[in-house]
Amino acid sequence: LESPQETNTKLLKICQVLDKEISYYNWTGFYFKNGDKDELVLGPYVGAITDHIIIPFGKGICGQVAVSGETFVVPDVHSQDNYLSCSIDTKAEIVVPIFKNGENIGQIDIDSHTIDPFTKEDEELLNWLCDEVAKIL
C-alpha cells in the first residue's frame, strides 16, 4: 500500500485535473470518514478555502451522502434546507460516495458556480473515478 502522503498527492492531482479540464467544476475535493467517528474530514481539494473541515454524518449534502451511500445531485443549492454553504458563488453541487469493500468510506464533492450543470456523463465520470480512487486507498 502507498503512504498516506503519496495517496494525498494523487488525490490532489485528480482535483487539479478536474478543476482545469471541466469549466463548471469550481470546487473539487474529497471528504473521508474520520476513523471510527460518525463524521467526515476534508481531504485534498482545489478551490476556495472552506470552513467545513469536519462534517458530522447527516449534516449538509456531504453528511447526507455519508449516511445514504447514494450520489446526491443538487441542481440548485438554494432549494436545499440541509446544506452547508462553502462559498456564496456556489449554485450547484454533486457528491458521489466512494466505496471500498462495500463500505462507504468517503466521497468526492464538486461545487459549481453554474446552476444545474451536472449531467449523467458527470455522474458516470465521477462514479468511475471513485471506483479507481478506492483501489489506491
Candidates 60, 97, 106, 117: give the one binding ligand SME (CB under 6 A). 60
Could you say whether residue 84 binds ligand SME (CB under 6 A)?
yes
Could you say whether residue 86 binds ligand SME (CB under 6 A)?
yes
Distance, in Å, from the CA atom of 11 to the CA atom of 106, rounded to the nearest integer, reads 12
Taking CB positions, which residue lies at the least distance from ligand SME?
A: 60
Could you say whether residue 52 binds ligand SME (CB under 6 A)?
yes
Mark 64-99 as b/e (b = at least 16 C-beta within 10 Å): bbbeeeebbbbeebeeeeebbebeeebbbbbbbbbe
Candidates 18, 19, 25, 27: give the one binding ligand SME (CB under 6 A). 27
Q: Which residue has the cell 502507498?
A: 2
Interface ranges with ligand SME (CB under 6 A): 27, 50, 52, 55, 60-63, 83-84, 86, 93, 109, 111
